[in-house]
């Protein structure tokens, strides 16, 4: 507690009503947000002579001011507390960073609906299935749906421009409604079955398909019956893979584990009695925090974060009891207009789910602690190998990726003492250079990274360059220019691949004096360098492939003003393909229905630069 704050005088003015309090430090920064049924009683407890909790002692020692906000009830105080925590992110509160919206599978409301990945506001008309725990689960489900139901997954522009079936039709992953290969009634029937399957009604879907197969066989339509038979077999294989299931309905099961300053909450999403997915959360926890406070804070921030578009289940099963359980139930009901139950003592199937969640949470914490110890050990070995007098707290690594100069992308990955800091990774789309010029690409990427750099900014202690002497010299030159006005600058080290590109044979080169050296293949320091180098390469090549695919999936015609889906389709159908369109004269283009002489001239000029 700072000298300027008079706790005795302050407590004389505090009301005994319910409300929320905010504690500030000497710089006016909110360091803690809390709520109380009786503000005077709660705040008085912070200023007793013998505080039992180390965390509370540290908090009180930094208090310079306190604000209070009165609320009509304790439930309102709980909701306001959550809003303030999201707004101020105080360092003495348990913080859960879960502001990303959840992914869904979207079934559009078109004449021929499409299945698609969706994240964000639900603006387009159609049905949304989910939420799924992560994007990978959605993509896996969409891949499975392609095998089970021949429904299109292409975007609408691609669908409208088709003049003949695409590859998905050839490999039986789509029924090609775009070119009339399936009737509207049959397509609608497949969409209905897919919708039922996504709602967990797989047995109803199988029963419907069995009836259709038997009817087709009775009508002597054996090819159609065989298609239904194959679809039924695929659906049954999928149903058998869901080993853990029950009749428990919808619920979230939360296993919690807290050790050595790391907390993990493992959530099982149970929908229609089946494990729909799982996800682990690692909130930021201040030192010496009680596990009950961690769980309470997690539940508060997770279930009152309505911005994430998470659908709420009927009940939540948690592994520990905590303060304000009933108030949290009321707050969620008030915020979402939906009643739910929070349970801590369960039996039979719910207890089985809870054991799974608890085991996963414990394993996640132990794995993370083991990883942290290994990373810390490797950092110490790297400091020793590089003869660093100061600790290495931040490292960055740059890499360039392209295919013969096409779609060049540079990556910058960041490691700290805990390992990869993925939230700080960056990609740079390189433009305005000669295709394939890695030196110019490296110069542009590092120039953009350290543009307007300041001494109090995020400056790496070590900057690794994935490449040989040429890339390293360019990087060193840019760094010298950008850091000329500062007293600090990163140490540059080039990582040149060894003979045959074999791991363990890398040559390391200092950027300042271009002295080359190497580390033993079994050195933990070298393993750390290899890790950041490989991560940089992975991140660069992933960005490059995405950019290249996007470029190749975009038709040249799409960039011409006035040429929409209908005109593109007419051009391709009339002339027989894109190459024929590119080779056509203005007179030939003007003969295409819907293409005027002026538009034909525009297309002709655009396709010839």
What dotted CATH number matches 556-607?
1.10.150.20
Q: Is the pLDDT of residue 96 over 50?
A: yes
Q: In the CATH scheme, what architecture does the domain 394-551 have?
A: 2-Layer Sandwich (3.30)
| Closest to 407 (Cα-Cα) out of 582, 606, 534, 542 | 542
At residue 398, the pLDDT reads: 96
CB 475 within 8 A of CB 400: no
Q: In the CATH hierarchy, which top-level class contains the domain 7-88?
A: alpha beta
> Phi-psi region for residue 391, left (φ > 0), alpha (ψ -120 to 50) or beta?
beta
Distance CA 275, CA 266 (A): 13
Alpha carbon separation from 132 to 101, 103, 106, 567, 603 (Å, rounded): 10, 6, 12, 38, 44
Task: Give the mean pLDDT of 584-600.
Answer: 88
**pLDDT of residue 247 exceeding 70:** no
pLDDT attached to residue 98: 62
Residue 243 has pLDDT above 60, yes or no: no
Give the rounded percent of residues in the chain with a pLDDT score beyond 70.
94
Whether omega for the bond prior to residue 131 falls within 30 degrees of 0, making it cis, is: yes
Give the list of residues 6+ apart from residue 534 with CB closer than 8 angstroms, or none: none
Q: Quote the pLDDT of residue 525.
A: 92
Mean pLDDT over 41-51 rounds to: 88
Look at strands 394-403 and 19-24 and give their pairing.
unpaired
pLDDT grade for 248, boundaries at 50, 70 and 90: low
DSSP of 164-226: S--HHHHTTS---GGGTSS-HHHHHHHHHHHHHHHTT-HHHHHHHHHHHHHHHHHTT-HHHHH
Q: 371-430: per-residue pLDDT in tens?
A: 888 899 999 999 999 988 889 999 999 999 998 888 899 999 999 998 999 989 999 999
pLDDT digits 0-9 by tens, 326-338: 888 888 888 777 7
Residue ranges matching CATH 3.40.1440.10 in the chain: 7-88
CB distance 187 to 181 below 8 Å:
no
Domain with CATH 3.30.420.340 in the chain: 251-366, 394-551
Report the pLDDT value the prediction gives residue 32, as an integer from 0 to 100. 94
Minimal CA–CA distance to 599: which of 561, 547, 550? 561
Q: Indicate whether 99 pLDDT > 80.
A: no
**According to the model, what pLDDT value does residue 244 have?**
42
32-43 burial string, b = 16+ CB within 10 Å, else e? Answer: bbbbbeebeebb
Listed range (88-92, 179-183, 192-196, 465-469) with the worst mean pLDDT: 192-196
Token pair of 609 as six digits: 């630069």
- Whole-number CA gyration radius for the chain: 30
Ranking 91-105, 291-305, 424-438 by mean pLDDT, the lowest is 91-105
How is domain 251-366 classified at the CATH fold level?
Answer: Nucleotidyltransferase; domain 5 (3.30.420)
For residues 247 and 97, the model is more confident at 97
What integer pLDDT is reported at residue 350 of this predicted model? 86
Q: Angle of helix 469-482 relative to helix 438-449, nearest 10 degrees?
A: 30
Q: What is the pLDDT of residue 246?
A: 46
Contacts of 376 (CB under 8 A, 6+ apart): 417
Pairing mode, strands 507-510 and 462-466: unpaired
At residue 275, the pLDDT reads: 74
pLDDT at 381: 93
Given a cut of 70, is residue 1 above it in pLDDT? no
For the chain, what percent of residues have pLDDT higher than 90? 28
DSSP character string of 246-281: -S--SEEEEEEEEETTEEEEEEEEEETTEEEEEEEE
What is the token pair recorded at 3?
A: 């000298």
Distance CA 127, CA 109 (A): 8
Distance (Å, whole) CA 102 – CA 273: 21
User: Contact at 8 Å (CB) between 175 and 231?
Assistant: no
């Amino acid at each position: 507690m700072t000298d300027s704050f008079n706790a005795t005088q302050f407590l004389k003015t505090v009301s005994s009503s319910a409300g929320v309090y905010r504690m500030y430090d000497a710089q006016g920064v909110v360091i803690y947000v809390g709520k109380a049924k009786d503000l005077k009683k709660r705040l008085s407890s912070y200023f007793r002579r013998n505080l039992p909790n180390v965390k509370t002692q540290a908090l009180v020692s930094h208090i310079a001011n306190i604000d209070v906000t009165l609320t009509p009830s304790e439930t309102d105080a709980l909701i306001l507390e959550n809003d303030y925590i999201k707004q101020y992110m105080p360092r003495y509160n348990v913080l859960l960073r879960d502001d990303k919206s959840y992914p869904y599978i979207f079934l559009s409301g078109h004449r021929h609906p499409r299945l698609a990945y969706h994240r964000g506001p639900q603006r387009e008309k159609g049905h949304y299935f989910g939420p799924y725990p992560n994007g990978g689960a959605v993509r896996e489900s969409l891949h499975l749906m392609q095998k089970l139901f021949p429904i299109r997954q292409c975007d609408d522009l691609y669908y409208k421009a088709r003049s003949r079936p695409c590859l998905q039709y050839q490999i039986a992953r789509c029924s090609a409604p775009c070119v009339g290969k399936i009737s509207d009634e049959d397509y609608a029937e497949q969409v209905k079955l897919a919708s039922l399957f996504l709602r967990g009604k797989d047995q109803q879907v199988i029963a419907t398909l069995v009836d259709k197969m038997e009817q087709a066989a009775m009508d002597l339509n054996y090819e159609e019956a065989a298609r239904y038979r194959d679809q039924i077999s695929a659906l049954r294989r999928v149903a058998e893979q869901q080993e853990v299931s029950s009749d428990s309905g919808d619920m979230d099961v939360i296993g919690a584990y807290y050790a050595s300053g790391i907390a993990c909450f493992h959530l099982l999403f149970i929908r229609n009695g089946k494990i729909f997915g799982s996800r682990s959360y690692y909130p930021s926890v201040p030192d010496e925090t009680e596990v009950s406070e961690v769980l309470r804070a997690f539940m508060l921030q997770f279930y009152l974060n309505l911005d994430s578009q998470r659908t709420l289940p009927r009940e939540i099963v948690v592994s520990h009891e905590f303060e304000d359980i009933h108030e949290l139930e009321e707050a969620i009901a008030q915020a979402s207009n939906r009643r739910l139950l929070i349970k801590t003592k369960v039996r039979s199937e719910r207890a089985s789910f809870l054991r799974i969640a608890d085991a996963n949470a414990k394993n996640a914490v132990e794995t993370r602690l083991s990883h942290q110890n290994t990373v810390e050990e490797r950092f110490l070995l790297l400091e020793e190998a590089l003869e660093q007098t100061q600790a290495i707290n931040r490292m960055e690594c740059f890499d360039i990726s392209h295919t013969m100069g096409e779609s060049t992308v540079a990556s910058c990955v960041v490691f700290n003492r805990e390992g990869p800091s993925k939230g700080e990774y960056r990609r740079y789309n390189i433009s305005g250079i000669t295709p394939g010029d890695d030196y110019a690409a490296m110069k542009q990427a590092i120039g953009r990274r350290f543009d307007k750099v300041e001494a109090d900014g995020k400056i790496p202690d070590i900057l690794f360059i994935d490449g040989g002497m040429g890339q390293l010299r360019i990087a060193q030159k840019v760094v010298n220019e950008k850091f000329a006005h500062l007293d600090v600058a990163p140490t540059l080290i080039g990582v040149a691949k060894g003979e045959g590109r074999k791991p363990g044979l890398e040559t390391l080169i200092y950027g300042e004096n271009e002295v080359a050296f190497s580390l033993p293949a079994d050195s933990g320091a070298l393993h750390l360098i290899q890790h950041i180098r490989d991560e940089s390469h992975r991140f660069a090549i992933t960005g490059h492939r995405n950019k290249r695919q996007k470029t190749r999936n975009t038709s040249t015609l799409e960039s011409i003003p006035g040429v929409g889906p209908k005109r593109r389709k007419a051009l391709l159908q009339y002339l027989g393909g894109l190459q024929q369109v590119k080779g056509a004269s203005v007179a030939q283009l003007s003969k295409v229905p819907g293409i005027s002489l002026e538009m034909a001239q525009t297309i002709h000029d655009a396709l010839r630069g």
